[in-house]
Structure 1
Amino acid sequence: MEWLHQDYFFWKYIHHCVFQKGYRVHELNHKEAWLEDEDVKPRRFIRVVRIDIDFSSWLRRDVGESVNKFDQVRKQLRLGRLIGENVYISVYPPVDQWEEINKPFYESRKKRTTVYSSIIDRIKSNQLEISPAPSTHTIEELEFMIFALKQEIQQAIKQRESREKSLFFYGNPIATYLLLLSVAFMFYVLEQNGRSTSVLTLIKYGAKYNPLILDGEWWRLFTAMFLHIGFLHLFMNSLALFYLGGAVERMFGTSRFLLIYFIAGLSGSVASFAFNEQVAAGASGAIFGCFGALLYFGTIHKKLFFRTMGKNVLVVLVINLIFGFAFPMVDNGAHIGGLIGGFLASFIVQLPKTRFSVRQITFLFITVCYVMGLYWFGEINEKKVSSPLLELQIGQEYLQEEEIEKAYPFLQRAVDEGADIPEATFLLAYAEAKFENYEEAKTLLLKTVAKRPDFHEAHYNLSLIYVELDQLEEARASIQRAVQIHPEQAYLDLQERLQ
């Protein structure tokens, strides 16, 4: 009967830890249970063992082995420190000396894992707050009571798992799939009507372009979310949207997810407008808003967040932000703006089954002020209105389409605003030559070859300009220089005609 009483106490002890102390059950069988106290720092794990111990040699060996087991748990959960406790429930303590196991055991000198051990025998079980089974019960009654305890514990474990699982699977990622289809369709449209890497095509179909936004085309702050620059950009953003967007939509539901997505996307676009002068497109701001929504979930369910996805989310987020700061071509303003926007939007919509509160109105006001403040800064930040290199790129694309009159103002602004590269004066000289402004073209080409003496195309064009100005000696000298640098057939033909 004594062993059955201790069996009852074993299950009563676990029942008390689960229902009274709120411990989480990690492993459970009829002889051993692993419980976690999530409310303390460092994290505490309790290993409850039901065994009748004869000699202390077995006990010492088991304690030593348990230290390694506790340390493996610490590493799996990526914890800095862990406190482990062995609780042995036995009818009697070992017959020989065993008291030295009461001292703490450490995994290493750094003491990241500390393990304590204790024995609860027949006498000690009567001294604890957990009442043992009365001695008047029969074997059948004790077995039934043990069975009832097991059932209650198992039911509590299932309910907790179901409750936590429901937080991750509230909705279905319907909107995520529709968004993926929409960005793929717009990429196809761009490719069929120019190319997705063409600045002119991107501007035509709604990319973020600061001068036109300042002229009243505010809708570009939304349409830019559906455009992508090149297949790699589309692929990477689609992959991120599939995983991050799908996770957020499952957790928040479709309607809440769409609000988070578009508020974050708008915040990212406005931040890009405020801090980045380049033509921009992509769903990156909205995708970083999904990171913000996951961080919001972490503030509400901190323990669950860090036990499941938390550390992976933070690592991926930090890597992306570092990558954005390391490479200037990445629009980190849109990324950070979208991250903050998604975090604020999550406070507005809240998680499903959450009662409406005044805090939602407060965060709605904060979000509106945040977006409007970014837009206002973008309006007064004149350095971000235009970029000489962007003007040059647009002008070059117009030249490739033989739209000289449209290209000319962009090329002129690029030179006037200080695009300090020889291509700027070279392209403007080409446009001036098309307008038969040969003196202006000559001056610009002389500046070009002064900046880059090995620019053979500039020497060739300069030779043609000298021919138009009837300065043949200068023309021969220029074409000779071009041939010396790069003897193309066209250069050789011109040189032969001039001779």
Structure 2
Amino acid sequence: MCGMKKPPGCRELTFFNFQMMSLHPHVHLACVSSMEEELDRALEMRDRQTWRHPGEVQLMEDNGLIFFSLLISCKVFFGQIATRGKLLFWGAKVNSLIDKGQFWRLATSSVLHANIGHLMVNCYSLNSIGPTIENLSGPRRFIAVYLTSAIASSAMSYWFCRAPAVGASGAIFGLVGSLAVFVIRHRRMIGGGKEDLQNIAKVIFLNMMIGLLTKGIDNWGHLGGLLGGVATSWFVGPAWQYGPKLHDGRRVFTDKAPIRYLTIRKTEPKNIS
């Protein structure tokens, strides 16, 4: 809704379908499906190897963070309904109110949604790519990528789009950027890196085109989230490198991420499944 000339009131925010910042489900599914074989091969490779690094190696089978994020989004949306739009107006990215010092809107706008359709599409997208990123990066790095991408999305939208905005898709675009960084860094380990990057690029391009051709989508927010995810993942990792082989032939890996603060908890060498 970048075409609106002034910020909407509470009633308009409640009923106007604005800022559908979300990955198109069919486009996103195409990416996930085309990359599934290569990612499965990477996971199978890790099953046969031992990983040792100075940071955290924890792959959560139940993806608790994804469930928690989806639960928060649903509860907040019910809160929007219960308050008749007041919660939406309190937390949406409205530039004129941010100019007056309401900086929390840069963070809260990412957990609000315009309507039930907006919520469902973003939940679908998060559930599609979120578990992969959480498993590859670990829970603490997932949190860092998601939150940084959400704020980066709101910040870029604030600077380049005057229209009010809500939605988690900026953070979801950050997860796509995180996956791209992982594939670039480990393309020699998992194989098929070039094809995976091409698929990711197609998803980004198609979603940006959808944003340009569809009224009410903030591509600046998408771009900000994407760049936030790329930058965060580049610095915090993971950045696996080959180490020596053990006596039983298994490979030892070391995490060489530039910033290791989020991975300081050591774990014993173990097989990853």
Determine the structure 1 residue equivalent to 2:256. 355
1:203 alignment counterpart: 89
Residues 340/164 of structure 1: CA separation in 2 closer, same or farther (3 Å cut) = farther
What is the CA-CA distance between 1:305 and the residue it aligns to?
6.1
- One-letter code of the match for 1:187? F
Q: Which among 203, 221, 231 is matched to residue 316 of structure 1?
A: 203
The structure 1 residue matched to 2:72, chosen from 182, 185, 196, is 182
For residues 270 and 159 of structure 1, do their structure 2 counterparts lie closer, same or farther at Cα, with a shift above 3 Å needed?
closer
Aligned-pair CA distance for 1:347? 1.3
Q: Which digits, 9 at most, give the CA deviation of each residue in 1:326-365, with x for residues without a partner? A: 22410100000100010000012111751354xx49xxxx
Q: Does 1:280 align with 2:168?
A: no
Letter in 1 for 2:154: S
Give 1:309 shift: 4.6
Structure-2 change in CA distance of 1:330 and 1:163 (3 Å):
farther
- Which whole-Å deviations, capped at 9, do the CAs of 1:94-113 have from their partners, x for residues lacking one? xxxxxxxxxxxxxxxxxxxx
Do the aligned partners of 2:211 and 2:217 also contact (CA within 8 Å) in 1? yes
Quote the Cα distance in structure 2 between the aligned partners of 1:261 and 1:293.
9
Task: Tell me how far apart the structure 1 counterparts of residues 215 and 50 of structure 2 sit (CA, whole Å).
Answer: 41
**What TM-score, normalized by structure 2, do the two folds share?**
0.65
User: What is residue 343 of structure 1 aligned with on the other side?
Assistant: 230
Q: Percent identity?
A: 29
Which residue is 2:81 aligned to? 191
* Structure 1 pair 316–165 and aligned structure 2 pair: CA distance change class (3 A): farther
Counterpart for residue 171 of structure 1: 59
Task: Map 1:75-474 onto structure 2 (within 5 A).
Answer: 160=45, 162=47, 170-172=58-60, 173-195=63-85, 202-204=88-90, 206-303=91-188, 304=190, 306=192, 309-351=196-238, 353-355=254-256, 357=258, 360=259
Residues 146-184 of structure 1: per-residue CA shift (max 9 Å, x gap) = xxxxxxxxxxxx994635898xx9522211111110000
Q: Deviations over 1:60-95 (max 9, x none)?
A: xxxxxxxxxxxxxxxx99xxxxxxxxxxxxxxxxxx
Q: For this pair of structures, how many residues does the alignment match?
A: 197
Structure 1 residues 194 and 344, CA gap change in structure 2 (3 angstroms): same
Name the SS for the 2:255 alignment partner. Answer: coil
For structure 2, which runs of at least 5 residues remain unmatched after alignment? 1-33, 36-42, 52-56, 240-253, 261-273
User: Aligned in 2, Cα 1:212/1:350: closer, same or farther, shift over 3 Å?
Assistant: same
- Where in structure 1 are there 5+ consecutive unaligned residues? 1-75, 78-157, 362-499
The answer as to whether partners of 1:297 and 1:305 remain within 8 angstroms in 2 is no
Higher CA-based Rg: 1
Q: Give 2:54's aligned residue.
A: none
- Change over 3 Å in CA distance of 1:349–1:356 after alignment to 2: closer
What is the CA deviation profile of residues 259-300 of structure 1, one whole-angstrom value per residue up to 9, with x for unaligned ones?
000011110000110111111111111000001101101210
What is the alpha-carbon distance in structure 1 between the residues aligned to residue 205 and residue 77 of structure 2? Answer: 28
Contact 2:238-2:256 at 8 Å conserved across structures = no
What value does the CA root-mean-square deviation take over the aligned residues?
2.8
For 2:221, the aligned partner's letter is: A
CA–CA distance in structure 2, aligned partners of residues 337 and 201 of structure 1: 24
